[in-house]
Amino acid sequence: MENPSEFVREHLLWLPEGQLFTSDMDISPYYRKWGFTIYRTAYGPGSDQCWQTIIDKINAQVSEDALDPRSADPAAHRAVQLFRLDARSDRNTLEGLNADQVRELYKNAVGGQPMNADDRARRVFLLVDEEVIEATSLKEFWVKGIQVDYAIGDYTHNNRRLGSSPRYFGWMKLAIRSVPHFWASLYYQEMEDIAPETIGGAVLSVWDCLSSY
Protein backbone atom coordinates (compact mmCIF):
# COMPACT_ATOMS: atom_id res chain seq x y z
CA MET A 1 0.00 0.00 0.00
CA GLU A 2 2.19 2.80 -1.32
CA ASN A 3 -0.09 5.65 -0.26
CA PRO A 4 -2.47 4.81 2.62
CA SER A 5 -4.04 8.27 2.55
CA GLU A 6 -4.93 7.90 -1.12
CA PHE A 7 -6.20 4.35 -0.56
CA VAL A 8 -8.50 5.42 2.26
CA ARG A 9 -9.76 8.48 0.40
CA GLU A 10 -10.36 6.67 -2.88
CA HIS A 11 -11.72 3.35 -1.67
CA LEU A 12 -13.04 3.66 1.88
CA LEU A 13 -14.56 7.13 2.20
CA TRP A 14 -18.08 7.43 0.82
CA LEU A 15 -19.38 10.96 1.21
CA PRO A 16 -22.99 11.72 0.21
CA GLU A 17 -23.23 13.60 -3.07
CA GLY A 18 -24.27 17.22 -2.79
CA GLN A 19 -23.55 17.51 0.92
CA LEU A 20 -21.03 20.14 1.99
CA PHE A 21 -18.41 19.27 4.58
CA THR A 22 -16.17 21.63 6.52
CA SER A 23 -12.75 20.76 7.89
CA ASP A 24 -14.07 20.54 11.46
CA MET A 25 -16.91 18.11 10.68
CA ASP A 26 -16.75 14.47 11.79
CA ILE A 27 -16.72 12.29 8.68
CA SER A 28 -15.92 9.03 10.47
CA PRO A 29 -19.45 7.63 9.89
CA TYR A 30 -18.77 7.72 6.15
CA TYR A 31 -15.86 5.32 6.20
CA ARG A 32 -16.76 1.80 5.14
CA LYS A 33 -15.29 -1.58 5.91
CA TRP A 34 -13.23 -3.38 3.30
CA GLY A 35 -12.13 -6.97 2.85
CA PHE A 36 -13.70 -10.27 1.87
CA THR A 37 -15.96 -13.01 3.11
CA ILE A 38 -13.95 -16.23 3.21
CA TYR A 39 -15.62 -19.64 3.26
CA ARG A 40 -14.14 -22.91 4.44
CA THR A 41 -15.50 -26.12 2.91
CA ALA A 42 -12.81 -28.62 3.98
CA TYR A 43 -12.71 -30.11 7.49
CA GLY A 44 -10.32 -33.05 7.31
CA PRO A 45 -7.42 -33.85 9.67
CA GLY A 46 -5.11 -30.89 10.14
CA SER A 47 -7.48 -28.48 8.42
CA ASP A 48 -8.20 -26.45 11.57
CA GLN A 49 -4.57 -25.37 11.83
CA CYS A 50 -4.35 -24.62 8.11
CA TRP A 51 -7.53 -22.54 8.24
CA GLN A 52 -6.22 -20.50 11.16
CA THR A 53 -2.88 -20.03 9.40
CA ILE A 54 -4.66 -18.60 6.35
CA ILE A 55 -6.74 -16.21 8.45
CA ASP A 56 -3.72 -15.04 10.43
CA LYS A 57 -1.57 -14.52 7.34
CA ILE A 58 -4.19 -12.45 5.53
CA ASN A 59 -4.71 -10.20 8.54
CA ALA A 60 -0.96 -9.87 9.03
CA GLN A 61 -0.50 -8.97 5.38
CA VAL A 62 -2.94 -6.08 5.67
CA SER A 63 -0.94 -4.65 8.56
CA GLU A 64 2.34 -5.21 6.76
CA ASP A 65 1.08 -3.50 3.60
CA ALA A 66 -0.36 -0.48 5.39
CA LEU A 67 1.88 0.18 8.37
CA ASP A 68 5.29 1.64 7.69
CA PRO A 69 7.31 1.64 10.95
CA ARG A 70 8.95 4.87 9.80
CA SER A 71 5.62 6.64 9.38
CA ALA A 72 2.86 7.71 11.74
CA ASP A 73 0.30 8.22 8.96
CA PRO A 74 -3.13 7.97 10.66
CA ALA A 75 -4.65 6.83 7.36
CA ALA A 76 -2.58 3.65 7.52
CA HIS A 77 -3.96 2.78 10.94
CA ARG A 78 -7.47 3.58 9.74
CA ALA A 79 -7.04 1.23 6.77
CA VAL A 80 -6.02 -1.60 9.10
CA GLN A 81 -8.87 -0.87 11.52
CA LEU A 82 -11.43 -0.90 8.71
CA PHE A 83 -10.29 -4.22 7.25
CA ARG A 84 -12.62 -7.16 7.86
CA LEU A 85 -12.12 -10.79 6.99
CA ASP A 86 -15.60 -12.24 7.35
CA ALA A 87 -14.67 -15.86 8.11
CA ARG A 88 -17.40 -18.48 7.61
CA SER A 89 -16.67 -22.01 8.80
CA ASP A 90 -19.98 -23.59 9.80
CA ARG A 91 -19.23 -27.23 9.09
CA ASN A 92 -22.89 -28.25 9.02
CA THR A 93 -23.58 -25.74 6.25
CA LEU A 94 -20.35 -25.70 4.27
CA GLU A 95 -18.60 -29.06 4.39
CA GLY A 96 -17.98 -30.48 0.93
CA LEU A 97 -19.70 -27.72 -1.03
CA ASN A 98 -18.34 -26.74 -4.43
CA ALA A 99 -17.85 -23.17 -5.66
CA ASP A 100 -21.27 -22.97 -7.33
CA GLN A 101 -23.00 -24.07 -4.14
CA VAL A 102 -21.10 -21.49 -2.10
CA ARG A 103 -22.06 -18.85 -4.68
CA GLU A 104 -25.70 -19.57 -3.86
CA LEU A 105 -25.04 -19.19 -0.13
CA TYR A 106 -23.44 -15.82 -0.83
CA LYS A 107 -26.29 -14.66 -3.07
CA ASN A 108 -28.88 -15.69 -0.48
CA ALA A 109 -26.91 -14.18 2.42
CA VAL A 110 -26.90 -17.49 4.30
CA GLY A 111 -25.18 -16.82 7.61
CA GLY A 112 -25.62 -13.08 7.24
CA GLN A 113 -24.90 -10.43 4.65
CA PRO A 114 -21.49 -11.17 3.09
CA MET A 115 -18.82 -8.59 2.36
CA ASN A 116 -19.12 -6.61 -0.90
CA ALA A 117 -22.63 -7.86 -1.69
CA ASP A 118 -23.65 -4.34 -2.71
CA ASP A 119 -20.39 -3.50 -4.47
CA ARG A 120 -20.77 -4.65 -8.08
CA ALA A 121 -17.05 -4.49 -8.83
CA ARG A 122 -16.12 -6.61 -5.82
CA ARG A 123 -18.79 -9.32 -5.68
CA VAL A 124 -16.06 -11.84 -4.99
CA PHE A 125 -15.41 -14.15 -2.04
CA LEU A 126 -12.45 -16.21 -0.95
CA LEU A 127 -12.68 -19.99 -0.75
CA VAL A 128 -10.66 -22.46 1.28
CA ASP A 129 -11.40 -25.96 -0.01
CA GLU A 130 -9.47 -29.22 0.11
CA GLU A 131 -7.03 -28.08 -2.57
CA VAL A 132 -6.22 -24.91 -0.63
CA ILE A 133 -5.85 -26.82 2.64
CA GLU A 134 -3.47 -29.27 0.99
CA ALA A 135 -1.39 -26.42 -0.46
CA THR A 136 -1.26 -24.70 2.93
CA SER A 137 -0.04 -27.88 4.59
CA LEU A 138 2.84 -27.80 2.07
CA LYS A 139 3.63 -24.16 2.95
CA GLU A 140 2.12 -22.88 -0.31
CA PHE A 141 0.04 -19.94 0.80
CA TRP A 142 -2.76 -19.06 -1.59
CA VAL A 143 -6.55 -19.06 -1.63
CA LYS A 144 -9.21 -19.15 -4.31
CA GLY A 145 -11.03 -16.01 -5.40
CA ILE A 146 -14.54 -16.77 -6.65
CA GLN A 147 -16.56 -14.38 -8.81
CA VAL A 148 -20.12 -14.51 -7.47
CA ASP A 149 -22.01 -13.68 -10.67
CA TYR A 150 -20.00 -15.79 -13.09
CA ALA A 151 -21.94 -17.43 -15.92
CA ILE A 152 -19.95 -19.66 -18.26
CA GLY A 153 -21.95 -18.53 -21.29
CA ASP A 154 -20.58 -15.02 -20.91
CA TYR A 155 -17.05 -16.27 -21.49
CA THR A 156 -17.50 -18.90 -24.21
CA HIS A 157 -16.30 -17.91 -27.68
CA ASN A 158 -18.02 -19.45 -30.67
CA ASN A 159 -15.78 -18.79 -33.63
CA ARG A 160 -13.08 -20.68 -35.51
CA ARG A 161 -10.22 -18.52 -34.30
CA LEU A 162 -10.96 -18.70 -30.58
CA GLY A 163 -12.81 -21.99 -30.52
CA SER A 164 -15.74 -22.73 -28.22
CA SER A 165 -13.90 -23.33 -24.94
CA PRO A 166 -14.06 -20.67 -22.24
CA ARG A 167 -10.81 -18.92 -21.36
CA TYR A 168 -11.96 -17.93 -17.88
CA PHE A 169 -13.84 -20.02 -15.34
CA GLY A 170 -15.00 -17.50 -12.75
CA TRP A 171 -12.28 -18.17 -10.23
CA MET A 172 -8.56 -17.80 -9.73
CA LYS A 173 -5.79 -18.71 -7.33
CA LEU A 174 -4.25 -15.75 -5.55
CA ALA A 175 -1.31 -15.55 -3.19
CA ILE A 176 -2.25 -14.69 0.37
CA ARG A 177 0.27 -11.85 0.31
CA SER A 178 -1.76 -10.29 -2.52
CA VAL A 179 -5.23 -10.36 -0.98
CA PRO A 180 -5.24 -6.64 0.00
CA HIS A 181 -3.91 -5.62 -3.43
CA PHE A 182 -6.49 -7.85 -5.12
CA TRP A 183 -9.33 -6.06 -3.33
CA ALA A 184 -8.06 -2.68 -4.56
CA SER A 185 -7.40 -3.99 -8.08
CA LEU A 186 -11.04 -5.01 -8.51
CA TYR A 187 -11.93 -1.30 -8.54
CA TYR A 188 -9.93 -0.80 -11.73
CA GLN A 189 -10.12 -4.17 -13.48
CA GLU A 190 -12.61 -6.96 -14.02
CA MET A 191 -11.61 -10.17 -12.32
CA GLU A 192 -11.36 -11.91 -15.70
CA ASP A 193 -8.62 -9.42 -16.65
CA ILE A 194 -6.72 -9.95 -13.40
CA ALA A 195 -6.82 -13.75 -13.47
CA PRO A 196 -3.82 -15.54 -15.02
CA GLU A 197 -4.43 -17.35 -18.28
CA THR A 198 -5.66 -20.90 -17.97
CA ILE A 199 -3.45 -23.68 -19.28
CA GLY A 200 -5.23 -26.39 -21.23
CA GLY A 201 -8.49 -25.30 -19.64
CA ALA A 202 -7.08 -25.65 -16.13
CA VAL A 203 -6.41 -22.98 -13.50
CA LEU A 204 -2.78 -23.65 -12.61
CA SER A 205 -1.05 -20.30 -12.07
CA VAL A 206 -1.21 -18.42 -8.79
CA TRP A 207 -1.62 -14.66 -9.13
CA ASP A 208 0.15 -12.20 -6.90
CA CYS A 209 0.73 -8.47 -7.07
CA LEU A 210 4.31 -8.97 -8.22
CA SER A 211 4.03 -11.88 -10.62
CA SER A 212 2.13 -15.08 -11.40
CA TYR A 213 3.75 -18.40 -10.68
- 54-105 pLDDT, tens digit per residue, is 999 999 999 998 876 556 678 888 899 999 999 999 999 999 999 999 999 9
164, pLDDT greater than 70: no
Q: What phi and psi, each to the nearest 5 degrees, are found at residue 20?
A: -90, 140
Q: What phi and psi, each to the nearest 5 degrees, are found at residue 130?
A: -60, -40
Number of structural domains (the chain) is: 1
Q: Is the dihedral of CA 152, 154, 159, 161 positive or negative?
A: negative
Does 213 fall in a domain? Answer: no
pTM of the model: 0.88
In Å, how far from its chain's centre is CA 75? 21
The residue segments making up the domain with residue 11 are 4-207
138, pLDDT greater than 90: yes
Write down the pLDDT at residue 88.
99
Tell me what the pLDDT averaged over the chain comes to.
87
Among 12-21, 39-48, 51-60, 155-164, name the one with the lowest average pLDDT.
155-164
Strand partners, 171: 146
Does 212 fall in a domain? Answer: no
Write down the pLDDT at residue 65.
85
Does 138 fall in a domain? Answer: yes
Does 178 fall in a domain? Answer: yes
